[in-house]
Amino acid sequence: MNTDATDPNSANESAEQSPSQNLAYENDDPAYRVFIDTLNYLEPDEIALVLEAYRFGEEAHQGQTRLSGEPYITHPLAVAGALAEWRMDAQAITAALLHDVMEDTAVTKADIAARFGKQVAELVDGLSKLDRIEFQSYQDAQAENFRKMLMAMARDLRIVLIKLADRRHNLQTMEPVRPDKRRRIAHETLEIYAPIATRLGLNNISRQLQDLSFKHIHPLRFRVLTRALKAVRGNRRELLSKILDGIRSKLQEANIEAGVFGREKSLYSIYRKMVDKRLSFSQVLDIYGFRIIVQDRPTCYLALGALHSRYKPVPGKFKDYIAIPKGNGYQSLHTTLIGPYGTPIEIQIRTQSMHHLAEEGIASHWLYKDSEESGADLQVKMHKWLQSLLELQGPAGDSSEFLEHVKVDLFPDEVYVFTPKGKILSLPRGATVIDFAYAVHTDIGHRCVAARIDHELIPLSAELANGNQVEIITAPHANPNPAWLTYVKTGRARSKIRQFLKALQQDGSSVLGENMLNQELQALGVLPAEIPAIVWERVVRDSGKKSRREIYSDIGLGRSLAAVFARRLAAHDEVSQTEMNVAAPLVIRGTEGMAIQLASCCKPIPGDPIIGLLRKGQGLRIHTHACRVARKSRNSEPHNWIHVEWDPDPGQFFDVKIKVTAKNVRGLLGRVATGISQAGVNIEHVNMDGEKPGLFTELHFLVQVSGRPHLAALMRALRRVPDVVRIAREQE
């Protein structure tokens, strides 16, 4: 087994006999010898630590084999070998050799810490699964494992490198695994691990993960594309040679020293282009790209100018990631030129240090320590990104919801926008003003009411484009709107909005639940204020809840019945219950928040006879007695209805629909609107029937009134308007 869902190749066959204390080490074992040779950059004592870890791991895994029949130690050895190629430190390589011993053997974290140090033990623990905890489904277990791994990654970035090397080797050796399991692991890799590699700048390993996953998900398409690409190499060799010679000669004319290389696009990127743009393989012309490596940053721009003078650039295809680097630190100039025979040529121009960073990302910090210090800066940047992911889980994070937020946050494409002070923010493509507001600060997101893009007012749902300058307008009493969840793109914004709405719903449902419980207690002849605290503590404990507030919240959301808790409290109470009172109705103001909502079908207003429908997880919905929707539901679920009444002074305005039938004459709408305004009523919305104009027309208004007396005064005022024939309140 390994740090993935399960090691897909592990047969987990434990030896019956105890591990041998003197294992033989074959000097001619190719994999082992290659691994030893790659450790020459370490100090002798560090090499000794790594070799001790190899022996320890081999003893621990003795008798275990992979599905291929190979000894299990071959897998940790391959993972450690990848880290040695990245020139990682001895602790990381040691952890890679031991990354499965806590899961598959009796070795504990304390054993590893005692023998190899606390840091190695923390690395191994961060990579180990939570296989001792029971989860309701495989998806829940995977989500929680991923959350735990991200938390460990935030503490130590080496964990992600071990994890990605581990996943790559599993994909490389998955042939003996069942096809359905191969596809599941490959899909998970494409959804999570390849995007993480891209986000961390590990482009080499990201491409490998994508191609290997593609191979396991669509094996036939993979084989067909592989053959087609192999054939194209021969057919286009002359064209590629001509382009390379043309680029080199033009750079020499400009006295620019540069390395020019042709690069083949990965199979998966070719396949995605065919699918996304509905192209056949023969229509994908830009299978090859070209990379130019120069000495310094100014030379990048000189090389760009030289190439644009030889080949015509494609408009809109130039991107300057040097001036504005990607979020993962990537820097390069991108341009697309029209080459010989009208072939599009994709070119990337960068320095050697930029190239190191582009290929290896955070691993370049270990690979190229002597080149420049940007690797350390990137480590800080990636650490901040991982910390921001952990913020998505909230105070009581649901693992599956957390995983959903992280997936949303792993978009490979980005847009770069500016704050009014000139600070650059990187957001996923398709991000909206709301995403921008939450990227600046959570409070800015919660309080935003409007925005300006490039000094023009725009709606909050507007998508951002590269180079936009965004200014957020806030109001002190504004709150997030549930509708925002339909168009936000970043995991951070989605998570913060949901957290706020859940807290708001809990507050409102708690107040509602308390009122409902008090209502039931009064019906039993018990005064809520006289119930002793010890009785409450006993009821809370017996119900398995954490607090009295949690009981209130569950009652308000319909998860628990107020009558049940009222009887429990009354049974414990010593108050005489000889007299049973009739339950007083629940008082409604209409300002209670998300826990109490006015039904949109009948739009009740103060003065209307009302009744409340309590549904599990939805709170209380208020309907009028005459509402047709309510009448149907009262027959099918009579026990869910609650007696409610309006507060004598709600102190706010309520939406109501009215229909005005009038003669179709010029100036009618203006006169009716004036009459509404003079009655002290605000118009929220108005529309007219779209049918052909006749003798009469119908105007539909959504207005705000304080109650039925206010609505009656409005109707009297409208009857005095000339040409108005009929006025009616619209209800379903």
Whether the pLDDT of residue 209 is over 80: the answer is yes
Q: Which of 18-27, 199-208, 323-332, 585-594 has the lowest mean pLDDT?
A: 18-27
Would you list the DSSP string of 401-453? HHHHHHHHHT-S-EEEEE-TT--EEEEETT-BHHHHHHHH-HHHHHHEEEEEE
Question: Rounded to the nearest 10 degrees, what angle do helices 138-155 and 399-409 cross at?
Answer: 60
Which pLDDT band, with edges at 50, 70 and 90, does 373 fall under? very low
Query: Is the confidence at residue 652, as pLDDT, over 60?
Result: yes
Give the neighbor-by-neighbor strand order of the sheet with 448-453. Answer: 456-458, 448-453, 470-474
Q: How confident is the model at residue 213 (pLDDT cuts 50, 70, 90)?
A: very high
**pLDDT of 295 strictly over 70:** yes
What's the pTM value of the predicted model, to 2 decimals? 0.58
pLDDT band of 62, cuts 50, 70, 90: confident
Active-site residue flag, 463:
no
Q: What is the mean pLDDT of the chain?
A: 79
Q: Which pLDDT value is given to residue 5?
A: 45
Spacing of C-alpha 581 from chain mean position: 52
Mean per-residue pLDDT, 97-125: 88
Higher pLDDT, residue 29 or 367: 29
Alpha-carbon distance 672 to 669, whole Å?
Answer: 5
Question: What's the rounded mean pLDDT across residues 468-488?
Answer: 86
pLDDT confidence bin for 433, thresholds 50/70/90: very high
Instruction: Please count the other Cβ atoms lying within 10 Å of the Cβ belonging to residue 442.
Output: 18
Cβ neighbours of residue 300 closer than 8 Å, sequence gap 6 or more: 294, 322, 333, 349, 350, 351
pLDDT tens for each residue of 305-317: 999 988 888 888 8
- Structure confidence at residue 154 (pLDDT): 67
**Residue 141 has what pLDDT?**
66
Percentage, residues of the chain above pLDDT 70: 77
- Bigger pLDDT: 7 or 673? 673
Give all domains of the chain, ordered by start, each with its CATH number: 30-216 (1.10.3210.10), 224-372 (3.30.460.10), 415-489 (3.10.20.30), 499-646 (no CATH), 654-729 (3.30.70.260)
- Which of residues 557 and 109 earns the better pLDDT score? 109
Q: Which pLDDT score is estimated for 171? A: 93
Segment 330-350 shows an average pLDDT of 85
Between CA 28 and CA 44 the distance in angstroms is 21
Residues with Cβ within 8 Å of residue 189, at least 6 apart in sequence:
167, 171, 209, 212, 213
Residue 619 pLDDT grade (very low, low, confident, very high; cuts 50, 70, 90): low
What's the rounded Cα separation, in Å, for the pair 546 and 549? 8
As a whole number of angstroms, the distance between CA 47 and CA 65 comes to 26
**What is the spatial distance between Cα 403 and Cα 436, in angstroms, rounded to a whole number?**
21
Active-site pick, 104, 125, 360, 520: 104
**Residue 252: φ, ψ to 5°:** -65, -40
Task: Please tell me which residue, 405 or 14, carries the higher pLDDT value.
Answer: 405
Of 112, 116, 110, 109, nearest to 89 by C-alpha is: 116
* Beta strands per DSSP E along 145-196: none
Q: Is the pLDDT of residue 586 over 80?
A: no
In angstroms, the CA 390 to CA 384 distance is 10
Q: Note whether 625 and 615 are within 8 A (CB).
A: no
pLDDT, position 211: 93
Q: For position 403, what pLDDT does the model report?
A: 64
Most confident region among 295-309, 323-337, 536-550 by mean pLDDT: 295-309
pLDDT band for position 595 (50/70/90)? low
Label residue 1 by pLDDT band (50, 70, 90). very low
Instruction: Select which of 58, 103, 435, 554 is catalytic.
Output: 103
Residue 719, pLDDT above cutoff 50: yes
Asked if the model's pLDDT at residue 390 lies above 80, the reply is no
| 221-230, 636-645, 647-656, 698-707: least confidently modelled range | 636-645
pLDDT band per the 50, 70, 90 thresholds, residue 294? very high
Q: What is the pLDDT of residue 18?
A: 36
Higher pLDDT, 75 or 639: 75
Sequential DSSP letters for 336-386: EEE-GGG-EEEEEEEEHHHHHHHHHGGGHHHHTTTT-THHHHHHHHHHHHH
Mean pLDDT throughout 87-105?
88
Check if 359 is active-site.
no
In this prediction, residues 228-247 reach a mean pLDDT of 78
pLDDT for the residue numbered 234? 67
With tokens 């041998």, the residue in question is 20
* CB crowding 610-633: b at 16 or more within 10 Å, else e: bbbbbeeeebbbbbbeebebbeeb
Please name which of 697, 692, 699 lies closest in space to residue 665, comparing C-alpha atoms: 697
